[in-house]
Amino acid sequence: MDQNLQVMGTVAQNGSPHEFEEQSLFSLELGTQKMQPGHISEYGSAPGGFQPGVSKMWRNVVYKSIKTVIFSNKLNVLIPFGPLAILVHILTGHNGLVFLLSLLGIIPLAERLGYATEQLAVYTGPTIGGLLNATFGNATELIIAIYALRHGMIRVVQLSLLGSILSNMLLVLGCAFFCGGLVFYRKEQVFNKATATVNSGLLLMAVMGLLFPAVLHYTHTEVHYGKSELALSRFSSCIMLGVYAAYLFFQLKTQKDPYIPLSEEGSQNGENDNDDDETPEISKWESVFWLSIMTAWISILSEYLVDAIEGTSHTWNIPISFIGVILLPIVGNAAEHAGAIMFAMKDKLDISLGVAIGSSTQISMFGIPFCVVIGWIMGQPMDLNFKLFETATLFITVIVVAFFLQEGSSNYFKGLMLILCYVIVAASFFVHEDPPPEGKP
C-alpha cells in the first residue's frame, strides 16, 4: 500500500502515467546510445556531424528514380544511339547516318518525356494533365522547328509542323481507335462529342488561317507583292494565339472537368481503373527534373538532326517533304502514340482523344503561329503559306476526321480507315517534290 502511494505521488509530481512511461523509455534509449559509442540516432547523425542516414536515403531515392525512368522501359535501349550520332558527326560527318542515329535516339526520349508528363499530371488533375500531355508531347516538334528556323530552313519547319498535325489526327487517333476497338470489340467505345466538336472547330479555323495566305499567293492578288502575304500571316498568327489563349481559359475555367463522362462510363462498365492511374511512380519534383533532362537532351539531338536533313535527302534520294511530313513527326509523336493507345485499351477514349486531337489543335493554333512570331523576332520570313498541295491535304484531313468524330463513338474499323488514310498521305508525299523557291529554276 505504501509502495502504491509512493508511485502515485511520483506520477503526480512528474506528470501522467503515459508521460512517466515515455520518460522511462527515453531514458532507456539514451542509456543504450551511451553504451554504444558508434550508434547513429534516429535523426541520422553521428557524433562527428556526419549524416550517413540522410545520404543513404538520397542514394536510394536517386537509384529508384533512375531505375523507374530509365531501366523500366525496353524502348530505352535506343538511348545510346543519341551519343553515337554525335560521335559519328564528329568523326565522319556522314549526314544519312547522323540523321538515322539521331532519329533513333530521340524516340525513347520523346516517349520518356510523355511518361514524365503523365506522372506530373497525376498531381495536377485531369484537365491540366491533358494540357501538359499535349504541351510536352509536342515539345519535340517545337524544339526541332525552332532549330530549323534558326538555320533559315522555313520549309522544314512548315512541313514538320504540318506532318505533326496529320500524324496525330490520322495515325495516332487511328491506332487508338483500332486498338481500343479490338479490346472492346463487343461494343462501340464512346467519347465526349462536345469536346471533340470544339477541337474540330479550332482545327477548321486553323485551316482557314493557312488557306487564305496560300490562296492570296496563288491568285496573285496581293496588294504589295511579297509583303501582303507575310503581313497577313503575322496578323493571323496573333489572332490564332489569342484564340488559343481563350480556348485554354474556356477549358480550365468554364469547363470544369471534361473527363467526367469518361469516369461515369468506366463505372458503368464495372471497371475500376482509377486505382492504377492515380498512384504515381515518381514524385512531383522528380517528374519536373526528368522533364528538364529529357527536354535538354532532345534539344541537343535536334540540332544534329536538323543539320543532317538536307544531306540525308540527297544521300537517300528521299524528298525533303517526306522527311518533314512523315519521318520527323512519327518520332516526335512517340509519346502521343503510346499514351493514346494505352488509354484507348483501358476504355478511356476521352483522354486518347484529348491527346491526339488536343495535340493537333495545339500545333495548329499555337505551334504554327508561335513559329511565325519567333521567325518574325529572328528576322526569318516564316509565313502561313504552306503551299497548295500541303494546305489541300490538311483541309481534306480535317474534314475526314471531323466526319468520323461527329457520332461520338468509335470502333476498330474507323481506326483502320484512319490508319489507311495516313498511308495514302505518306505515299502522296513520297512522290511529291517540293517546288523550288521563286526565282530559282
Q: Which of 303, 322, 362, 381 is nearest to 102 (CA)?
A: 303
Give first-to-last CA distance, the chain, whole Å. 116
**Grid cell at residue 27:** 531514458
Whether residue 88 contacts residue 97, with contact meaning beta carbons closer than 8 Å, is answered with yes
| Number of alpha carbons in the 13 Å side-chain half-sphere of residue 397 | 32
What domain range is 301 assigned to?
72-257+281-431
Q: Exposed (0-12), middle (13-18) or buried (19+): which is 246, by Cβ within 10 Å?
A: exposed
- Domain CATH for 374: 1.20.1420.30
Q: Is residue 171 part of a domain?
A: yes
pLDDT in 10s for each residue of the chain, 441 residues: 444 444 445 444 444 444 444 444 344 344 444 444 444 444 444 444 445 666 777 777 777 888 888 887 777 888 899 999 999 999 988 888 999 999 888 888 877 877 887 788 778 766 676 667 666 767 777 888 888 898 888 998 999 999 999 999 999 999 999 999 999 888 888 888 888 888 889 999 999 999 999 998 888 888 877 788 999 999 999 999 999 989 888 877 765 555 444 444 443 344 444 444 457 788 888 888 888 888 888 888 888 888 888 888 888 888 888 998 998 888 777 766 777 888 888 888 888 888 888 889 989 999 999 999 999 999 999 999 999 999 999 999 999 999 999 888 888 999 999 999 999 999 999 998 877 665 454
Q: Which of 198, 211, 208, 292 is nearest to 254 (CA)?
A: 198
Amino acid identity of 340? A
Q: Is residue 438 part of a domain?
A: no
Q: Is residue 439 part of a domain?
A: no
Q: Is residue 126 part of a domain?
A: yes
Tell me the C-alpha distance between 366 and 244, whole Å: 7
Q: How many domains does the chain have?
A: 1
Q: Is residue 358 part of a domain?
A: yes
- Enumerate the H helices of 188-324 as residue ranges: 193-218, 228-249, 260-268, 274-277, 284-307, 309-316, 320-322
Q: Is residue 33 part of a domain?
A: no
H or E segment at 11? helix 2-14
Tell me the C-alpha distance between 429 and 320, whole Å: 9
Q: Is residue 21 part of a domain?
A: no
Q: Is residue 15 part of a domain?
A: no
